[in-house]
């Protein structure tokens, strides 16, 4: 009875959310693609009426010398720069507060994010908080910003989050480390650069984790009850590009064609999730990050095959269609066999990329709270094709231990 009540309540909330998603326009950023597009973006910024940019990044990228050429290019175009390099993985509310303080004390009128999803998410919330006079905590939720954000620009250094186009940002609570979602179309930047040269230095593990994050976005959008012809177009394109190019980029990080293809795949997956949303993979993966510090992309990769199996029957027609579209199954093959082929291909990809899908250090005493937090995130927000019970969630978490 409890699960039925949960489902009915979630579906009522989703019906309202679907209406809002269909009505509220989502802006699209200007996107520059290709080698040296990051430098071209600096020129573009100079024509958009800003005078002082806060560059939001992490200390590693700053120490690697990735930020200095961008500062030089901006200054050549008459734009002052300040740098906040305090972003950490899974940025906390405190990190955003620190960045906001730097922005205000430096009198910056715009923000440039350079980094992976963590830097981009932090920059998004900094830019939105600055104009709305709200704390980061007050922006957690759906459409909490009433005013446009400061002009925001993005240069992703990884190919996975699609944050340069998505309407969401993820923050961690300083004390509980629980994840909070900021969802607002005002988070979408004005312009972004997908520069494969900047992504050449990614280690293999980061290439794999971020690429599988993009695959998760696309797969969850594909099976979502909010899926539309447009979201299907972008999700399908992203999945094809990932299947073809992620192994190439992982084997040879200097393969610019593969890097650019993965950047586009991440971008397309972001467009798909804007319309169709996420699912249980992300909801559970966020708990793995909160409780055990597992990087977001890796957590998604670990959970992905389990949720594909969980959705096997409910999403059979959709998964079979995807298998045929990506060339994994012939048109004449049954839906069941086509679905088998798709799930087997995803599992084989994880093996090829050396992804260990076991988490030996998990504590079963955490499972109840983790399931509750995952459901609180997913139910009423994510249009999942099949609802999960508490016992199913705890069994799934137990399976992740590999015992």
Secondary structure of the chain as H, E, C letters = CHHHHHHHHHHHHHHHHHHHHHHCCCCCCEEEECCCHHHHHHHHHCCCCCCEEEEECEHHHHHCCCCHHHHHHHHHCCCEEEEECECCCCCEHHHHHHHHHHHHHHCCCEEEEEECHHHHHHHHHHHHHHHHCCCHHHHCEECCCCCCCCCEEEEECCCCCCCCCCCEEEEECCCCCCEEEEECHHHCCCEEEECHHHHCCCCHHHHHHHHHHHHHHHHHHHHCCCCCHHHHHHHHHHHHHHHHHHHHHHHCCCCHHHHHHHHHHHHHHHHHHHHHCCCHHHHHHHHHHHHHCCCHHHHHHHHHHHHHHHCCCCCHHHHHHHHHHCCCCCCCCCHHHHHHHHHHHHHHHHHHCCCCCCCCCCCHHHHHHHHHHHHHHHCCCCCCCCCCCHHHHHHHHHHCCCC
Calpha distance 43→59 (Å, rounded): 25
Q: Are residues 208 and 194 in the same domain?
A: no
In a domain, 286, yes or no: yes
What CATH number has the domain bearing residue 166? 3.40.50.1970
- Of 199, 229, 254, which residue sits at a domain end? 199
* Domain hosting residue 351, numbered range: 203-400
Model pTM score: 0.93
Q: Are residues 361 and 286 in the same domain?
A: yes
- Of 199, 216, 233, which residue sits at a domain end? 199
Q: Are residues 195 and 211 in the same domain?
A: no
In a domain, 22, yes or no: no
Q: Are residues 336 and 300 in the same domain?
A: yes
pLDDT of residue 142: 86
In a domain, 254, yes or no: yes
pLDDT of residue 2: 63
In a domain, 19, yes or no: no
Q: Are residues 219 and 110 in the same domain?
A: no
Bridge partners of 181, per DSSP, are 170
Q: Are residues 105 and 169 in the same domain?
A: yes
Sign of CA dihedral 325, 331, 335, 338: negative
Q: Residue ranges of the chain with pLDDT lower than 70?
A: 1-3, 174, 176-177, 403
Calpha distance 171→24 (Å, rounded): 23
Q: Are residues 136 and 226 in the same domain?
A: no
Contact 103, 129 (CB under 8 A): no
* Burial zone of 127 (CB within 10 Å; 0-12 exposed, 13-18 middle, 19+ buried): buried
In a domain, 390, yes or no: yes
What CATH number has the domain bearing residue 266? 1.20.1090.10
Calpha distance 343→178 (Å, rounded): 30
Q: What is the number of other CB atoms lying within 10 angstroms of the CB of residue 204?
A: 13
Q: Are residues 225 and 310 in the same domain?
A: yes
- Of 199, 223, 258, which residue sits at a domain end? 199
In a domain, 6, yes or no: no
* Burial zone of 189 (CB within 10 Å; 0-12 exposed, 13-18 middle, 19+ buried): buried
Q: Are residues 114 and 261 in the same domain?
A: no
In a domain, 384, yes or no: yes
Q: How many domains does the chain have?
A: 2
pLDDT of residue 403: 58
Q: In sequence order, which residues have a C-beta less than 8 Å from that of residue 25 and are 6 or more positions away?
A: 185
Calpha distance 23→314 (Å, rounded): 28
pLDDT of residue 383: 96
Contact 226, 383 (CB under 8 A): yes
Backbone angles phi, psi at 310, to 5 degrees: -60, -40
Q: In sequence order, which residues have a C-beta less than 8 Å from that of residue 16 and are 6 or more positions away?
A: none
Q: Are residues 213 and 89 in the same domain?
A: no
Q: Are residues 134 and 255 in the same domain?
A: no
pLDDT of residue 172: 85
In a domain, 72, yes or no: yes
pLDDT of residue 181: 87
pLDDT of residue 145: 93
Q: Are residues 238 and 188 in the same domain?
A: no
């Amino acid at each position: 009875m409890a699960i039925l009540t949960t489902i009915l309540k979630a579906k009522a909330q989703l019906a309202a959310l679907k209406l809002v998603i269909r009505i509220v326009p989502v802006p699209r950023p200007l996107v520059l693609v290709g080698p040296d597009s990051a430098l071209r973006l600096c020129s573009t910024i100079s024509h958009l009426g800003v005078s002082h940019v806060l560059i939001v990044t992490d200390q590693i990228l700053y120490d690697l010398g990735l930020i200095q050429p961008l500062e030089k290019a901006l200054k050549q175009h008459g734009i002052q720069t300040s740098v906040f390099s305090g972003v950490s993985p899974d940025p906390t509310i405190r990190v955003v507060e620190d960045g906001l303080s730097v922005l205000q004390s430096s009198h910056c009128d715009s923000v440039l994010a350079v980094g992976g999803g963590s830097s981009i998410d932090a920059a998004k919330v900094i830019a939105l908080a600055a104009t709305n006079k709200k704390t980061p905590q007050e922006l957690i939720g759906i459409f909490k910003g009433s005013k446009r954000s400061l002009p925001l620009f993005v240069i992703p250094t990884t190919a996975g989050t699609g944050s340069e186009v998505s309407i969401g940002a993820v923050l961690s609570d300083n004390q509980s480390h629980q994840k909070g979602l900021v969802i607002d179309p005002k988070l979408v930047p004005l312009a972004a650069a997908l520069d494969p040269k900047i992504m050449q230095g990614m280690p293999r593990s980061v290439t794999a984790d971020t690429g599988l994050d993009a695959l998760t976005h696309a797969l969850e959008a594909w099976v979502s009850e909010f899926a539309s012809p447009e979201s299907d177009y972008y999700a399908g394109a992203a999945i094809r590009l990932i299947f073809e190019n992620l192994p190439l980029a992982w084997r040879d990080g200097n393969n610019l064609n593969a890097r650019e293809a993965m950047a586009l795949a991440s971008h397309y997956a972001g467009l798909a999730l804007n319309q169709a949303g996420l699912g249980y993979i992300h909801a559970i993966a966020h708990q793995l990050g909160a409780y055990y510090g597992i990087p977001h992309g890796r957590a998604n990769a670990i959970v992905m095959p389990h949720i594909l199996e969980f959705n096997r029957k409910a999403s059979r027609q959709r998964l079979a269609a995807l298998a045929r579209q990506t060339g994994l199954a012939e048109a004449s093959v049954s839906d069941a066999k086509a679905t088998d082929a798709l799930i087997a291909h995803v599992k084989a990809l994880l093996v090829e990329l050396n992804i260990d899908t076991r988490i030996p250090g998990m504590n079963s005493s955490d499972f109840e709270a983790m399931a509750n937090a995952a459901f609180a995130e997913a139910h009423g927000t994510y249009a999942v094709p099949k609802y999960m019970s508490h016992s199913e969630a705890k069994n799934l978490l137990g399976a992740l231990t590999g015992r």
